[in-house]
Structure 1
Amino acid sequence: MIDLNADLGEGFGRWTLTDDEALLSVVTSANVACGFHAGDPSIMRRVCELAAERNVRIGAQVSYRDLAGFGRRSMDVPPDELAAEIAYQIGALEVFARAAGSRVSYVKPHGALYNRTVHDAGQAAAVVAGVRLAVGPGGAALPVLGLPGSLLLDAAAEAGLPAVPEAFADRAYTPEGTLVPRGEPGAVLHDPDAVVRQALELVRTGAGRSLCLHGDTPGAAGLAMRVRQALVEAGVAVEAFAGASRVGSEDSA
């Protein structure tokens, strides 16, 4: 069994990047931009409504405050400030998720923040502190998605949050198991056959409980459909990952 997630809502005003409606017909979990690297209130509301209609799980894709750089520039943000910004983004998305009849079910960092929390204990702890702040005292534990072996997942587990390892179907890996930086040649896989092969191999080896396909990749929706079809044909059940809790609720989805 594998969950399929994609980055959605990555637009701003009249500018759009991701084909949200098409991708939401394929994925089981939606990483929704919360306004710091992309997204705005209208986009967040629309994506939450579409996700709820299709029974797709809504996740908060939190980021550094870097709209101009699409969240892909590493920043030195003080831990207390970063924790507050993480909670702010989750809370903003939760409003629209609730209005659509759903809830925020997990959190996933975006871009530079995602990569930074692989090896930076302070930033990883700040993200986890922000998740706990958003949930509030006595709130249900909110799962955190991250790279296997990352300090982020270690911090989440230590804080009692479900730590969900994920793999990337369309990104190249280093020998150490981290993602090849986007500035290097071949960092993003564009050949559909290569993406499908990597997706099947990652699932076969148990590299993660969730498989990510980037929504900003050209032809992302069609590529996601090919991956899903290949998984089903290989006998893999495509379902949202187990153990995802909802903000402010003791129920598990």
Structure 2
Amino acid sequence: MQFDLNADLGEGFGVWRLGDDDALLDVVTSANVACGFHAGDPVTMRRVCAAAAQRGVAIGAQVGYRDLAGFGRRRIDMDPDELAADVLYQLGALEACARAAGTRVRYVKPHGALYNTAADDAEQAGAVASAVTAFDPSLPLLALPGSAMEHAASAAGLPFVPEAFADRAYSPAGRLVPRAERGAVIEDPYEVVARAAAFALHHRVTAIDGTVLPVLARSLCVHGDTPGAVYLATEIRRTLLDAGVTLTPFAP
């Protein structure tokens, strides 16, 4: 049984650091690296790419809205062509940093509000897919299963990898509960680890109303800015390995 463990990294900016990138890179198998629009800057991007390459961690481009002040968590209604150009720009920037580290970008994952919007908005999902197709049609898209992103990837002929979240609550429809709502972020570390095991071993999650949902994910995300993210990722890794799961990048 193989599974991928990913985390959002490189989300600092200038002198401000968010999360412990180096510690998480010792735990995860894939790194979603911020590309400078919602977080990150050239120095941070290059540093994280170099550290990931040293550890054999797959590098993914975490593309987002141009919203540093809001950390990319505010929806922006954009013309599809404009959004596609912004995504393409971010892909090119991170690819340059990855190449300088002797590796390359291996997948793409939208961030924050773009991730949630593109889960249901066919136009924005299509814009992301069109940018990836123009850049490298072999790159997988990492997003929620059954989402508009999955349909857009299929229509564009892109590989698609379904993702789950151990530290986020799910709605009965299989979407992430908005962060503004109470209980959207799971704070109990024991519950987070238990949910991770349920995803990897039993392919299911309990929604916020108690509904048990099937989730056939191949990758599990731990947010790098979640309090105690390193501890959570470490415990998830230990639990899955003890259960016989092989942790490996989905895009080696």
- TM-score normalised to the size of structure 2? 0.93
Give 1:215's aligned amino acid. G
Please, which of 217, 223, 227 is the counterpart of residue 218 of structure 1?
227
Q: Could you tell me which residue of structure 1 aligns to residue 210 of structure 2?
A: none
- 2:117, 2:67 → 1: CA distance? 14
- Residue 241 of structure 2 is aligned with which of 232, 245, 249? 232
After TM superposition, the structure 1 stretch with the greater mean CA deviation from structure 2, 230-239 or 56-65, is 230-239
> How many residues in Structure 1 have an aligned counterpart in Structure 2?
239
Partner amino acid, structure 2, of 1:76: D
Aligned counterparts of 2:192 and 2:36: Cα–Cα separation in 1: 29
**Structure 1 stretch displaced more, 32-41 or 151-160:** 151-160
1:185 aligns with 2:182: yes
Give the residue type in structure 2 aligned to 1:232.
L
Amino acid at match of 2:80: P
- Residue 132 (structure 1) aligns with: 133
Q: Which digits, 9 at most, give the CA deviation of each residue in 1:1-35, with x for residues without a partner?
A: 11000000001000111210000000000000000
Q: Is the 8 A contact 1:88 1:134 kept in 2?
A: no
Q: RMSD in angstroms over aligned alpha carbons?
A: 0.8
Does the Cα contact within 8 Å between 1:8 and 1:30 map onto a contact in 2? yes
Matched to 1:223, the amino acid is: L
**SS of 2:232 mapped into structure 1:** helix
Give, in angstroms, the shift of residue 204 of structure 1.
2.1
The answer for the alignment partner of 1:42 in structure 2 is 43
Structure 2 residue 103 is the aligned partner of structure 1 residue 94: no
Structure 1: give runs of 5+ residues left out of the alignment.
245-252
Residue 199 in structure 1 maps to residue 196 in structure 2: yes
Write out per-residue CA displacement over residues 87-127 of structure 1, whole angstroms, 9 at most, x where no aligned residue.
00010000000000110000000000000011100000000
**Contact 1:154 1:163 (8 Å CA) reproduced:** no
Q: 2: distance between equivalents of 1:205 and 1:119?
A: 26
Q: Which residue of 1 aligns with 2:78?
A: 77
C-alpha contact (below 8 Å) 1:37/1:69 kept by paired residues = yes
Instruction: Give 1:235 shift.
Output: 1.1
Match of 1:23 in 2: 24
| % same residue | 64
Q: 1:51 touches 1:57 (CA, 8 Å); kept in 2?
A: yes
Name the CA distance, whole Å, in 2 between partners of 1:105 and 1:128. 15
Structure-2 separation of matches of 1:205 and 1:193: 17
Structure 1 position 154 matched with structure 2 position 151: yes
What CA distance in whole angstroms lies between the structure 1 residues aligned with 2:155 and 2:78? 22
What is the rounded CA distance, in whole Å, between the counterparts of 1:144 and 1:84 in structure 2?
17
Code of the aligned partner of 2:21: D
Aligned-pair CA distance for 1:158: 1.6
Cα deviation for residue 205 of structure 1 reads: 2.9
> SS state of the match for residue 90, structure 2?
helix
CA distance in structure 2 between the partners assigned to 1:127 and 1:6 by the alignment: 20
Q: Which residue number in structure 1 is paired with residue 55 of structure 2? A: 54
Give 2:212's aligned residue.
none
- Three-state SS of the structure 2 residue aligned to 1:49 is helix
Q: Is the 8 A contact 1:9 1:43 kept in 2?
A: yes
- 8 Å CA contact 1:6–1:30 kept in 2: the answer is yes
Aligned residue for 2:60, secondary structure, equals strand
Q: Report the TM-score when normalising by structure 1.
A: 0.93
Q: Secondary structure at the match of 2:152?
A: helix
Amino acid at match of 2:126: A
TM-superposition CA deviations, 1:160-182 (whole Å, max 9, x none): 11011000011011111110110
Question: For residues 50-106 of structure 1, what are the alpha-carbon distances to aligned partners after superposition, in whole Å with 9 as ceiling and x for unaligned?
Answer: 000000000000001111000000010100000000000010000000000110000
1:218 and 1:8 mapped to 2: Cα distance? 14
Aligned amino acid, residue 12 of structure 1? F
